[in-house]
Amino acid sequence: MNEQDWDIKKIKRLKIKHLVAYNLVMVLVAVLFGMFADHGGTTGVVLILCCIALWIQLIIILWSLRTGRVFGIKSERLVQKFERAYMGEKRWKRRKIGQAVLVLIINIGITAFIINFDVFRPMYMESPSDYFPLFAGWVGYNAGEITRIRKIKNESMI
């Protein structure tokens, strides 16, 4: 698709659909997390699953930086191509490198935590404040995405 042919309303609609899908997945994760904790799940299992997911995310980011191709379903690839054209190549690359560094630091921290501490003891989620970090991250992500969607210019990109 040529840079001059971007349909901004379609891109905004796709970004909103992705945000709704993300929210549905987060609701599912929160419910599963609560059920896992109620049935005597261990912290170590949750941390290992998070670590594996973050390592996969890092590999995808690095692959995208290396090849210049976008990973994901068709609508996600379209949104990513738009963002790349909208931001410009240099800014897009800088943002991807920043994401990769952040995910790498988090991965190293979680991996070191798993190795150095006894994380395989039962989790206890007894009060609503135990879920606060999950919900705070969720709200922060939504606020950032909504802000980025609103910042996209309403006219077509020329």
Q: Tens digits of per-residue pLDDT, 90-110?
A: 998 999 999 999 999 999 998
For range 50-74, the mean pLDDT: 89
Q: Identify the burial level of 114 via C-beta atoms within 10 angstroms of its C-beta, where 0-12 means exposed, 13-18 middle and 19 or more buried.
A: middle
| CA-to-CA separations, 73 to 17, 77, 110, 111, 154, in angstroms, rounded | 13, 6, 29, 29, 25
**4-22 residue pLDDT tens:** 578 888 989 999 999 999 9
Quote the distance between the C-alpha of residue 140 and its chain's center. Answer: 11
- Record the tokens describing residue 56, joined without a space: 């996969």
> Where are the extended beta strands (E) located within the chain?
none
For range 45-56, the mean pLDDT: 88
Q: What is the pLDDT of residue 21?
A: 92
Q: What is the pLDDT of residue 56?
A: 93
More confident residue, 74 or 4: 74
Question: To the nearest whole percent, how much of the chain has pLDDT over 70?
Answer: 90
Q: Kindly report whether the global pTM for this prediction surpasses the value 0.85.
A: no
Q: Where are the domains of the chain?
A: 17-140
Query: Residues 86, 157: contact at Cβ < 8 Å?
Result: yes
Between CA 30 and CA 41 the distance in angstroms is: 14
| CA-to-CA separations, 7 to 69, 71, 140, 152, in angstroms, rounded | 21, 21, 27, 11
Between CA 129 and CA 111 the distance in angstroms is: 25
Q: What is the pLDDT of residue 14?
A: 92
Indicate if the pLDDT at residue 1 is higher than 50: no
- Record the tokens describing residue 146, joined without a space: 């909504």
